[in-house]
Amino acid sequence: MQISFTPEFADRLRPSVNLAAKKHHNPHGGGNTYELERALDEDMLLTSVGWANSHYANDSYNPGHDSYVDEWGITWRNSTYSTRFGNGSYTEIVGHPLADDAAIVSYRPPDPDRPELYAESDWVVRTFRDEYWILGVTVTTIFETAWALRGYERILMDFITEPDRAEAILDIPFRYHLRAAERLVRMGVDMIWIGDDVGTQHAMLISPETWRRFLKPRMARFISTIKGINPSLKVAYHSDGCIYPSSRS
């Protein structure tokens, strides 16, 4: 069993398991004490390196922080909502650094070899590997980060009208997350969690043919590379929604 919580829900849940209030943690990794996961007797602990950590960066979900730009150059905005449990907030993407075609050639992604990126993962592996299954997380591996960089509609159009451009953009997150995954495997994680949200409520959001052309070869290389480091490594692929042919007429 493994459960992730948004920061605000984690705050609501902690008193139920007799935990004191703590600083918000990023459900994808970054500053997580794992006290809540351990109190719930989860079997797995996540440690994440990659663009997914930007979802709740800089405490943007706290009041007074309306927007921020992550290290990829992607702009996020804090959006609020109300429920019967009270007010809450989430982050959404509002700015894409590669929206302009001319920006693609000169774009430089963050450095995946920075030692500080792996300090927390090293601590998690050393501290909990004998007690928990450790998941090295590199989700939003290719497609999600690519559309965040380019813009959702633009990358979908690129698939059709500018496939070479799409390939170049997809390679940016692919190379970054592969590098991160290799490092996590060598550190001793039990599993690497990869994937992109390509499923909707009823079917894939792109055609299987498009997935096979642009994503499958990169995923195959990704998995074969990390399995080459540790053949017993497990790999989880996240698709978010339904990826089977639709049965609806």
pLDDT of residue 113: 98
Is 188 part of any domain? yes
Decide if pLDDT at 116 tops 50: yes
| Paired sense of beta strands 75-83 and 86-95, if any | antiparallel
> What average pLDDT does this structure show over 77-100?
88
CATH code, domain with 115: 3.20.20.210
Task: Give CB contacts under 8 A, 24+ apart, made by 113-119.
Answer: 113/179, 113/183, 117/49, 117/180, 118/49, 118/183, 118/184, 118/187
Is 65 part of any domain? no
Decide if pLDDT at 94 tops 80: yes
- Percent of the chain predicted with pLDDT > 70: 92
**CA angle (108 as vertex; 105, 112 as ends), nearest 5:** 140
pLDDT of residue 61: 46
Three-state secondary structure along 84-124? Answer: CCEEEEEEEEEECCCCCCCHHHHCCCCCCCCHHHHHHHHHH
Q: What is the domain range of residue 195?
A: 7-57+98-238
Decide if pLDDT at 221 tops 90: yes
Is 74 part of any domain? no
- Percent of the chain predicted with pLDDT > 90: 73
Is 29 part of any domain? yes
Is 88 part of any domain? no
9-33 tens-digit pLDDT: 888 888 999 998 766 666 766 677 8
Is 77 part of any domain? no
> What average pLDDT does this structure show over 98-107?
97
Q: How confident is the model at residue 60 (pLDDT cuts 50, 70, 90)?
A: very low
200-214 tens-digit pLDDT: 998 999 999 999 999
* Total domains present in the chain: 1
pLDDT of residue 8: 78
Q: What is the spatial distance between Cα 218 and Cα 155, in angstroms, rounded to a whole number?
A: 17
139-172 tens-digit pLDDT: 999 999 999 999 999 999 999 999 999 999 999 9
Is 105 part of any domain? yes
Average pLDDT score over the chain? 91
Is 232 part of any domain? yes
